[in-house]
Amino acid sequence: MRNSSQVKSKPFSKSLWQLAAGLPIVLGVIWGSPVLAKNDPNTLTYGELFKEVDRGVVSKVELDPVTKIAKVTVMENNKLRIKEAVLLDDNAELYNKLNNKGVEFGVQKSADKNAIFGLLGNILLLVFVITVLSAVIRRSGNAGGQAMSFGKSRARFQMQAKTGVMFDDVAGIEEAKEELQEVVTFLQEPERFTSVGAKIPKGVLLVGSPGTGKTLMAKAIAGEAGVPFFSISGSEFVEMFVGVGASRVRDLFKKAKENAPCLVFIDEIDAVGRQRGVGMGGGNDEREQTLNQLLTEMDGFEGNNGVIVIAATNRADVLDAALLRPGRFDRQVQVDPPDYKGRLAILRIHIRDKKVDPELSLESVARRTTGFTGADLANLLNEAAIFAARRHKQAISISEIDDAIDRVIVGMEGKVVMDGKFKRMTAYHEIGHALLMTLIKEHEPVQKVTVLPRGQAVGITWSMPNEEHGLESRAKLLAMITVSLGGRAAEEVVFGKDEIDSGASNDIQRLTRIARGMVAQLGMSDLGLVAMDNEHQEYSEAIAAQIDREVRKIVKDCHQQAVDLLQEHRWLMDILAEMLIDRETIDGDEFRRIVDRETGRNEVIVSKQKPALAGS
């Protein structure tokens, strides 16, 4: 593993997305409003005005509160034009939107007293609306609610008869898509399974970092199956009064059963589903009641009634074990950040509704955005479109992409963005681990190697899960130390001693632990068969120094072995590193195939299906 030290774990702010998600509802209402003469190029309907503001072509709106007609300055074919739009009695949405988009707006001066009152009224209303709205946004930002509901005090849960999202709208997470294809079939033709006595799964847990497309995927499943989509967010419960969450869960499932077949989506399930009896104080009671209700509901419905529950989280490890039992969320699907190919596919999806300069190469954009999630990429293209509109361009060109990448990266604070040299260094580091895993036969075979950042790691190499438990031979422990040193050793061999960086700190901690254990607990050094590493037992400084010396000897020997092996296979490292830089992940079977082919050795190991604990 190569880790970054600069990482802060800051929750991903989703409030803008939520705002965006709320707008279509609002717009839907507004489009039904009275309009000026249709098709007149000099007038805009209220809805068109919204669209134009969205497209970023509106630079100014001036309204007359008496006539309710606004003069709108629009950029059309590179010329400024003034159009008229009829407004409504209550234009709060518009004001808010103009405000958000930074469009200049004003009110025409008029001698009419009514106008002044109207103006004052509007301003007061505006202030009021902005206050309320920002409160709503802030709340839904905290709570992670999916949509804003105006007029209603609080959304109970969302229901969408049709999500309108299909598998085609989701890219870069092909493995997850394949696994979930089956769920679509369950929803579409449950009889096919029930008629042969098969139990349909009730719950699927999507695990992946924010913005990788979990919500989108859940919507796509409902969309593909053509069933209604119910959604609720776990974090909303935390701030509720005791009992409210539980009753809401009950309502949700009741409604879902009435509408079966359908899909229930529980976002951020970790907010309610944390292990009971640990964690935060205050909201605990509420959380537990909600969780218990959820468990009861999951158990209560027969697997065959056509309701499938999909939950999303970015950490499965904190979830209460009860949630993961058979008959509940017993299927887990990993949603990984996209690799190069995936990013390209995602960019192609989000470019569909945008105009791009034909010169622009999406391939190069995908190359430059290692570490971006689907949401980051969607955001990137949107920012680029905004830049293009501001610059009065007809299409997005490379310079807008450049600026948008910079801007999105600022917003990605805490995530590591990989480029050029850093990526190369990371690739060689990981190849060092993976190659040694493959060459040293005492070590578990490599499962997968990646230079895609995940959590604190900028690159990871996994080995296959250890089948035999408990006893580890000395040879195996030494192999683990050598492999752990492989990352740093590769950096030394390829880039020279001066270029190595702090990225190996986790590796070094790990191997030091193993080496110390060998010396001080397992009697595997020249110090002999004594267990000395007992916290409560004092040992002399002389012995402490001896332990240190033995540990250092072991590490030094292993390091030498790592460097020798890698130097000997330097050419092979180059091949593998190039490939890893290009593809960003290589799975174990393929890795071994290449090593076998290039070295002429013949060691066929077929990997088991399920991945693996994170290795060094």
Cβ 279 to Zn ion, closest distance in Å?
A: 31
- Site map (CB under 5 A) of Zn ion, residues 440-479, x = contact: ----------------------------------------
Angle between helices 244-258 and 284-300 (to 10 degrees): 20
Residue 507 contact partner, candidates Mg ion, ligand ADP, Zn ion, none, CB within 5 to 8 A by sort of partner: Zn ion
Answer for which of 70, 87, 170, 272 binds ligand ADP (CB under 6 A) is 170
Q: What count of residues does the chain have?
A: 616
Backbone angles phi, psi at 215, to 5 degrees: -60, -45
Gap between the Cα atoms of 177 and 174, Å rounded: 5
439 binds ligand ADP, rule: CB under 6 A: no
- SS3 state of residue 490: helix
Cβ 362 to ligand ADP, closest distance in Å?
A: 14
When the beta carbons of 372 and 428 are compared against Mg ion, the nearer one is 372
The piece of 52-60, 211-219, 239-247, 421-429 that touches Mg ion (CB under 5 A) is: 211-219
Helical ranges in 102-232 per DSSP H? 113-143, 174-188, 190-194, 214-225
Residue 1 contact partner, candidates Zn ion, Mg ion, ligand ADP, none, CB within 5 to 8 A by sort of partner: Zn ion
Whether 430 is catalytic is: yes
Backbone angles phi, psi at 383, to 5 degrees: -60, -40
**For residue 587, what are its two tokens?**
């799975």
DSSP 165-190: --GGG--S-HHHHHHHHHHHHHHH-H
Q: Which of 288, 297, 400, 430 is catalytic?
A: 430
Cβ 180 to ligand ADP, closest distance in Å?
A: 12
- Site map (CB under 6 A) of ligand ADP, residues 337-366, x = contact: ---------x--x-----------------
Which residue's structure tokens are 């989509």?
229
- Residue 440's closest CA among 569, 553, 314, 268? 569
- Residue 46's closest CA among 18, 70, 76? 70
378 binds ligand ADP, rule: CB under 6 A: yes
- Site map (CB under 6 A) of ligand ADP, residues 293-332, x = contact: -------------------x--------------------
Contacts of 243 (CB under 8 A, 6+ apart): 286, 289
Which residue's structure tokens are 């034009």?
81
Answer for which of 210, 337, 487, 503 binds ligand ADP (CB under 6 A) is 210
When the beta carbons of 180 and 346 are compared against ligand ADP, the nearer one is 346
- Residues between 395 and 424 that touch ligand ADP (CB under 6 A): none
203 binds ligand ADP, rule: CB under 6 A: no
210 binds Zn ion, rule: CB under 5 A: no
- SS3 state of residue 311: strand
Answer for which of 2, 83, 214, 248 binds ligand ADP (CB under 6 A) is 214
Cβ 171 to ligand ADP, closest distance in Å?
A: 5
Cβ 268 to Mg ion, closest distance in Å?
A: 8
Which residue's structure tokens are 């422990």?
477
CB 383 within 8 A of CB 405: no
190 binds ligand ADP, rule: CB under 6 A: no
- Residue 290's closest CA among 327, 254, 238? 238
220 binds ligand ADP, rule: CB under 6 A: no
CA 80 to chain centre: 40
CB 74 within 8 A of CB 62: no
215 binds Mg ion, rule: CB under 5 A: yes
Answer for which of 374, 487, 588, 615 binds Zn ion (CB under 5 A) is 487
When the beta carbons of 20 and 123 are compared against ligand ADP, the nearer one is 20
Biggest CA-to-CA distance, the chain: 100
- Residues between 502 and 531 that touch Zn ion (CB under 5 A): 507
When the beta carbons of 188 and 235 are compared against Mg ion, the nearer one is 235
Q: How wide is the angle at C-alpha 600 spanned by C-alphas 598 and 604, nearest 5°? A: 95
Answer for which of 18, 45, 140, 215 binds ligand ADP (CB under 6 A) is 215
DSSP bridge partners of 82: 73
Gap between the Cα atoms of 188 and 192, Å rounded: 9
DSSP bridge partners of 319: 274
Which residues would be at the binding site for ligand ADP (CB under 6 A)?
17, 170-173, 208, 210-216, 312, 346, 349, 374-375, 378
Which residues would be at the binding site for Zn ion (CB under 5 A)?
1-2, 487, 507
Residues known to be catalytic: 430
Which residues would be at the binding site for Mg ion (CB under 5 A)?
215
